[in-house]
C-alpha cells in the first residue's frame, strides 16, 4: 500500500460520488494497493478490507479518529477520539477460508462476506432482503437430515447463528466502540464503520481543497495541477499571503 497524492485523492473523491460505500472502498484500495489486482481486492473479507482502509486513513489523515455522538440517555453531545491502533487490535486472528456451523438439525458450510458481496446489495431494498441476498452468496452448502437445503430455506435462527459466527471470525467487520457520557455516566457501545467515516473526511477535505485551488488559481493564475503539487504547508503559506 502507498500513500495517495492530493491529486489522486481528489480524483478518487470525484469518481466515488456516484457510487455506493462498498464501491468507494474498492476504488480507494485499487489506487492505494495498485500492486494487487482489483479482482483480488474485491474478494477480501470485510474485516481485511477495513484493516487496509484503516492503514490508508492513517497514512492520509493521521492515527487519531475524532468524531461526535449523542448520549442516548441524556442527549448530551460528546466528542471522542479513538486511536487506529486500538481499533486494529480488535482483530488478531487468522481468517479462515470457509467456516462450518452445526445448529439444530442443520449443517452449514459458508464463507465470510467480501467487499464484492456488499457491492451487489440493493440500497433501496429492505434489510431483510439484503440479508437474504448475502446469505445466498455466502452459504456454500447446507444440509438437514442428509438432504441439501437452499440458503433461503434456512430457518431464521440458523441465519442468525451464521451471522454471529461470521462476526466472531472477522471482528473488524463489526467494530463497536465503548463510550461513556461524562455528564450522566451512561455507557454504551456504538458501531464504527471506517468506510463511511473515511469518506466523510475525504468529502470535507475535497471541498476545502477545491476552495483553496480556486483562491490560489484566481490570485496567481496557476493551474489546478500546479496548486495540488504544492505541499499542504506551502499551499497554506500562499493562502495566508492573499487572504487578509
Q: How confident is the model over 169-200, as pLDDT tens digits? A: 998 998 999 999 999 999 999 999 999 999 99
Is residue 207 assigned to a domain? yes
User: Do 41 and 21 sit in the same domain of this protein?
Assistant: yes
User: Do 160 and 226 sit in the same domain of this protein?
Assistant: no
User: Do 181 and 87 sit in the same domain of this protein?
Assistant: yes
Average pLDDT over residues 202-209: 96
Write out the residue range of the structural domain in which residue 35 sits. Answer: 6-91+176-238
- Looking at the predicted structure, is the pLDDT value of residue 89 above 80? no
Among 121, 140, 169, give the residue marking a domain's end.
Answer: 169
pTM passes above 0.85: yes
Distance CA 150, CA 47 (A): 26
Q: Looking at residue 244, what is its pLDDT?
A: 66
Is residue 210 assigned to a domain? yes
User: Where do the H-state alpha helices sit in 17-155?
Assistant: 21-32, 38-42, 46-61, 84-88, 115-119, 127-138
User: Do 23 and 52 sit in the same domain of this protein?
Assistant: yes
Among 144, 169, 194, give the residue marking a domain's end.
Answer: 169
Average pLDDT over residues 217-238: 94
- Looking at the predicted structure, is the pLDDT value of residue 93 above 80? no
Is residue 29 assigned to a domain? yes
Amino acid at each position: 500500500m502507498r500513500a495517495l497524492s492530493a491529486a489522486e485523492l481528489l480524483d478518487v473523491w470525484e469518481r466515488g460520488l456516484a457510487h455506493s460505500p462498498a464501491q468507494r472502498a474498492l476504488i480507494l484500495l485499487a489506487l492505494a494497493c495498485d500492486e494487487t489486482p482489483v479482482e483480488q481486492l474485491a474478494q477480501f473479507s470485510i474485516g481485511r478490507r477495513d484493516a487496509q482502509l484503516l492503514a490508508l486513513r492513517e497514512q492520509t489523515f493521521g492515527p487519531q479518529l475524532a468524531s461526535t455522538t449523542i448520549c442516548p440517555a441524556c442527549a448530551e453531545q460528546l466528542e471522542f477520539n479513538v486511536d487506529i491502533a486500538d481499533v486494529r487490535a480488535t482483530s488478531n486472528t487468522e481468517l479462515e477460508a470457509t467456516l462450518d456451523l452445526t445448529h439444530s438439525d442443520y449443517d452449514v458450510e459458508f464463507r465470510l462476506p467480501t467487499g464484492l458481496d456488499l457491492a451487489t446489495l440493493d440500497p433501496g431494498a429492505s434489510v431483510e432482503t439484503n440479508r437474504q441476498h448475502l446469505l445466498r452468496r455466502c452459504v456454500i452448502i447446507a444440509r438437514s437430515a442428509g438432504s441439501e437445503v437452499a440458503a433461503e430455506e434456512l430457518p431464521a435462527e440458523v441465519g442468525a447463528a451464521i451471522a454471529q459466527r461470521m462476526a466472531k471470525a472477522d471482528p473488524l467487520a463489526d467494530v463497536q466502540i465503548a463510550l461513556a457520557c461524562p455528564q450522566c455516566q451512561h455507557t454504551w457501545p456504538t458501531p464504527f464503520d471506517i468506510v463511511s467515516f473515511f469518506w466523510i473526511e475525504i468529502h470535507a477535505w475535497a471541498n476545502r481543497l477545491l476552495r483553496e485551488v480556486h483562491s490560489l488559481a484566481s490570485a496567481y493564475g496557476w493551474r489546478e495541477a500546479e496548486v495540488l503539487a504544492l505541499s499542504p504547508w506551502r499551499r497554506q503559506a500562499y493562502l495566508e499571503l492573499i487572504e487578509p
